[in-house]
Amino acid sequence: MITYKSPAEFEKMAIAGRCVARIHEEVQAASEPGVSLRELDAISAKILKEDGCTSSFLRYQGTFPATICASVNDQIVHGIPGDYELREGDVLSLDVGAIFEGFHGDAALTYGIGEVEPAVQQLIEVTERALWAGIDEVQHGARVGDIGAVIESSAEPYGYGVVKEYDGHGIGRQMHEQPQIFNHGRRGSGVRLKKGMAICIEPMFNLGTDATRVEPDGWTVVTADGSISAHFEHTIAITRSEEHTSELQSH
Ligand code: MG
């Protein structure tokens, strides 16, 4: 179902989003060789509590066992933060979701631990640029296909695999609402975006092919060919029915 949020509801989502941003900042600062993913999860849980929020992911579908998703190297999304200790050269993708007074905020980012190979650094940068290119398409009246088309074409010159089995989503009272926000598509096609909607855009690009599989834990999604993957995500609210603003185009 697509839901439309009032300004007061968007404000709650913004508070959840600020908590998500603080978690990303503090977790990134703590991410260094020798630190376990479980420790990063504990930092996240502490900040959620301080900010009066709860985790969007903990017990998601009744079973997700952690506060955040932490996906390393060939893990694309939904990694479970456990005892694994970060190593120099690892690629860490963190996905954080917070709920404030019943409303969700959701964002992901990917970074290297210390030095990573140039090809991996480029993958990370291109994936982040694709997210911003997608965000630039967001306005009242735009189509979901406008976002997918620009994300897909961002990967094309590099030959990256664009993950198609997982995608972005509407967000509000649920972390995952309609519409689906695909990372591929055709300009001018798909659901029309309208004022009051909030969506998560989240490109996932692989150094290898786009094929994925799920690990035996039932959650962790990895690249089928073992190649490195990157993932970025922001939550975007459509608050106006006017044309595009310079604020969005400045990125
Ligand atoms: Mg999401």
* pLDDT the model gives residue 243: 62
What are the pLDDT tens digits along the chain (251 aa)?
999 999 999 999 999 999 999 999 999 999 999 999 999 999 999 999 999 999 999 999 999 999 999 999 999 999 999 999 999 999 999 999 999 999 999 999 999 999 999 999 999 999 999 999 999 999 999 999 999 999 999 999 999 999 999 999 999 999 999 999 999 999 999 999 999 999 999 999 999 999 999 999 999 999 999 999 999 999 999 999 976 554 444 43
* pLDDT the model gives residue 250: 41
**What spacing in Å lies between the alpha carbon of 180 and ligand 1's midpoint?**
10
Compute and round to an integer the Cα radius of gyration of the chain: 17
**What spacing in Å lies between the alpha carbon of 169 and ligand 1's midpoint?**
6
**What spacing in Å lies between the alpha carbon of 97 and ligand 1's midpoint?**
8
Residue recorded with tokens 């905020």: 105
**What spacing in Å lies between the alpha carbon of 105 and ligand 1's midpoint?**
9
* Measured distance CA(227)–CA(91) in Å, rounded: 11
Residue 141 Rama label (left phi>0; alpha psi -120 to 50; beta): left
* Measured distance CA(92)–CA(167) in Å, rounded: 19
Q: Give the count of beta carbons closer than 10 Å to the beta carbon of residue 210.
A: 19
Alpha-helical regions (H) of 70-204: 118-136, 144-155
* Residue 206, beta-bridge partner list: 161, 229
Helix, coil or strand: residue 214:
strand
Q: Give the count of beta carbons closer than 10 Å to the beta carbon of residue 15.
A: 18
Best CA proximity match to 233, nearest among 17, 4, 11, 2? 17
For the segment(s) 7-247, the CATH number from 3.40.50.360, 3.90.230.10, 2.70.98.10, 3.30.2290.10 is 3.90.230.10
* Measured distance CA(120)–CA(135) in Å, rounded: 23
* Measured distance CA(205)–CA(152) in Å, rounded: 9
* pLDDT the model gives residue 242: 75
Helix, coil or strand: residue 77:
strand
**What spacing in Å lies between the alpha carbon of 114 and ligand 1's midpoint?**
26
What is the per-residue pLDDT across 123-158, written as a single tens digit (0 to 9) for each? 999 999 999 999 999 999 999 999 999 999 999 999
**What spacing in Å lies between the alpha carbon of 171 and ligand 1's midpoint?**
8
Average per-residue pLDDT for the chain = 96
**What spacing in Å lies between the alpha carbon of 187 and ligand 1's midpoint?**
22
**What spacing in Å lies between the alpha carbon of 219 and ligand 1's midpoint?**
14
* Measured distance CA(34)–CA(55) in Å, rounded: 25
Residue 13 Rama label (left phi>0; alpha psi -120 to 50; beta): alpha
**What spacing in Å lies between the alpha carbon of 106 and ligand 1's midpoint?**
6
* pLDDT the model gives residue 246: 47
**What spacing in Å lies between the alpha carbon of 200 and ligand 1's midpoint?**
6
